[in-house]
Amino acid sequence: MAEASSRAYGRGAAVLSLGIGTTGLVTYAYFSLSSYSLSESDYGGITLLWSAVFITVSVLYRPVEQLLSRTIADRDARRERGHEHLRVAATIQLALGVLFAVAALALRGPLQDDLFGGSETLYWVLIVTVLAYAASYFARGFLAGHHRFGLYGLLVLMEASSRCLFALAVAVGIAEGQSAVALGMAAAPLVSLAVVPWALGRRLRREEPVADPVPDALEPEFTLARGTGFAVAVLLVMLAEQTFLNAGPLLVKAGEGGAEGAALAGFTFNVLLVARAPLQLFQSVQTAILPVLTRLRASGETDPFRRSVNLTLIAIAGFAAVVAVVMLAAGPALMDVVFGGEFDYDRWGLVLIAIGMGLYLSAATLNQAALARGHAAYAAVCWMASATAFVLFLVLVSFEDRVLQVEVGYLGAALVLSSSLYALYRRG
């Protein structure tokens, strides 16, 4: 069982890494085609729409994805049957979608006029896209919980590819304008759901006969209250995650103001990409490891559980060390090549971000271990405390070099976060 779970984790992470890596390239092509096809102002609207959509869906819908992934894996390991967990998750997801729709309609003026410069099309695309992702993230959690990582990778690849086709249509002259490019965002999550009927059909055909639950391994009944508690805790984790990734540039811009502040915020954003970029690929590891750890925990296999976590932490440490060495040796030159030479990138600042990235990815792994053990509330406390400390450091402490302050603050907060989650992990 342990060896099979470890192999499943390795295969799942590999398949998802390939799928998400390819998806990243296709997404890059979407923006590249859009930038060549649209004016600077229209392209700016597309980037704003993208940011608004994916910050919203990450915070709102990933909690239900994680809830489904953990719950399905746990029930499969205990050989439990029934569909109440799906109804609970669907109820929560529907409530979050309705909450978003009500808020977006109430804030139509600020969103349409202030954020999107008066574009009614971008506003409605935002609403349709976010609501469509409710179904997409529900499907992702279902597939991950059942270890259907190939279909999970196909789902995200179909999503990115269908979105890119809209930008390609504008680039070759089949369609034109910002609206056509934006519609690709709304179509993408809907097209990706084409994998769901196939996944459900295969699941039903392979359904095993009902078996007795694993003795002495039953948990309390899965209710709406329990599911909501887990989802709220993960939602707080997602809010803290967005704070780690976005508070630095936003507070730098707020502190400086004007065009100079905007430029410095962009520079800070570029520096933090050293930490952001690996997170995209690491999502595949997060997706694969949660159901595997949940099954090991439900089966009472403590040693394989710890071994899976420890091997992931070792791999992260090695990766972060390589990135830190590269940043030390050639970081400023590489950043100049990728982003241009208008700013001077500090070598040691980039090393600090690389180390912080390793600590942050370690924390994300330990977070999945906490979720697998049912310690979502404790994990949320760790995340919120660390994110709050990060923001307070940026607001209350004043460095002459604001970018260096973000770099130091990110490293310190990542250290606090990883240490607190490691303490939780050691407690078992």
Measure the CA dihedral 86/90/91/93, to 10°.
Answer: 140
- Cβ distance 402 to 255 under 8 Å? yes
Which string of b and e fits 147-186 if b means at least 16 CB within 10 Å? Answer: bbbbbbbbbbbbbbbbbbbbbbbbbeeebeebbbbbbbbb
Q: Please report which confidence band the pLDDT of residue 304 belongs to, taking 50, 70 and 90 as the band edges.
A: confident
Kindly report the average pLDDT of the chain as a whole number: 84
Question: Residue 377 — pLDDT band, cuts 50, 70, 90?
Answer: very high
- Please say if the pLDDT value at position 273 is more than 80: no
Highest mean pLDDT among 113-117, 134-138, 272-276: 134-138
Residues in the chain: 428
What is the tens place of the pLDDT at every residue in 381-424?
A: 999 999 999 999 999 988 888 889 999 999 999 999 999 999 99
- pLDDT digit string (tens) for 134-188? 999 999 999 888 888 888 888 888 999 999 999 999 999 898 888 999 999 999 9
DSSP three-state, residue 401: coil
In this predicted structure, what is the pLDDT of residue 314? 93
Q: Where would I find the H helices in 257-301?
A: 258-298
Q: Are 122 and 116 in contact, with CB atoms under 8 Å apart?
A: yes
pTM of the model: 0.82
Q: What is residue 342's DSSP assignment?
A: S
* Burial letters 265-274, b for 16+ CB under 10 A, else e: bbbbbbbbeb
The ranges assigned to domains in the chain are 2-222, 228-428
What pLDDT is recorded for position 200?
66
Distance in angstroms (rounded) separating the CA atoms of residues 178 and 198? 34
Does the structure show a pLDDT above 50 at 225?
yes
pLDDT, one tens digit per residue, over 343-374 is 678 889 999 999 999 999 999 999 999 999 98
Mean pLDDT computed over 204-233: 62
**Which residue matches tokens 């690709």?**
184
Task: Report the range of poorest mean pLDDT among 16-25, 223-232, 320-329.
Answer: 16-25
**241-246 contacts at long range (C-beta below 8 A, 24 or more positions apart):** 241/58, 241/383, 242/55, 242/58, 242/59, 243/387, 243/390, 243/391, 244/360, 244/386, 244/387, 244/390, 244/410, 244/413, 244/414, 245/272, 245/275, 245/276, 245/279, 246/55
Q: Is 293 helix (H, G, I), strand (E, B) or coil?
A: helix
* Residue tagged 């390239």 (tokens): 25
Task: Report the distance separating Cα 148 and Cα 368, nearest Å.
Answer: 18
CA neighbor of 365 nearest in space, from 299, 289, 305, 302 = 289
Its sign, for the CA torsion 278, 284, 290, 293, is negative
Q: What's the pLDDT score for residue 215? A: 42
**Segments in 115-257 forming alpha helices (H):** 120-145, 149-172, 178-192, 195-205, 224-256
Q: According to the model, what pLDDT value does residue 333 have?
A: 87
Residue that wins the pLDDT comparison between 354 and 302:
354
Residue 167's pLDDT is 92
